[in-house]
Amino acid sequence: MITGLHHVQLAMPEAGEEQAREFYSELLDIPERTKPATLQSNGGCWFEKEQVRVHLGIERDFRPAKKAHPAFQASDFHNLMEKLKNAGYRIQSAEPLDHHSRFFVNDPFGNRIEFINAESEF
């Protein structure tokens, strides 16, 4: 029945689009996609690259997701970690999972994001 995951929707506060672009497009290298015209008045922004789709929507009474989170596989895992550190993001280490290193970062809005090394390290 379920054949895949189409996208992940995360919330952000009003007027957070530029911060979202800096984090998701510039740091994570997920290009922004123009939202369908029928949804543009809602604000927010979409980022999509191959099978990775992250949609950020405006939530008026915004509260960041502290526990629930997407987990992205990263092919250039260690360089991504350094890139995020150099941009001022705090890396939260995590125990390896199924022979893959991983870490957590909060996006600019405080949403928890997990990164898993696409390459097995053990």
Predicted local distance difference test score (pLDDT) of residue 95: 95
**The whole model's pTM is what?**
0.94
* pLDDT band for position 122 (cuts 50, 70, 90): low
CB atoms within 10 A of CB 99: 10
Residue ranges of domains in the chain, CATH in brackets:
8-58+69-117 (3.10.180.10)
Q: What kind and span of H or E run contains 32? A: strand 32-33
> What contacts 52, CB < 8 A, 6 or more positions away?
30, 72
pLDDT digits (tens, 9 = 90+) for 87-101: 999 999 999 999 899
Compute the distance between CA of residue 57 and CA of residue 89 in angstroms, rounded to an integer: 22
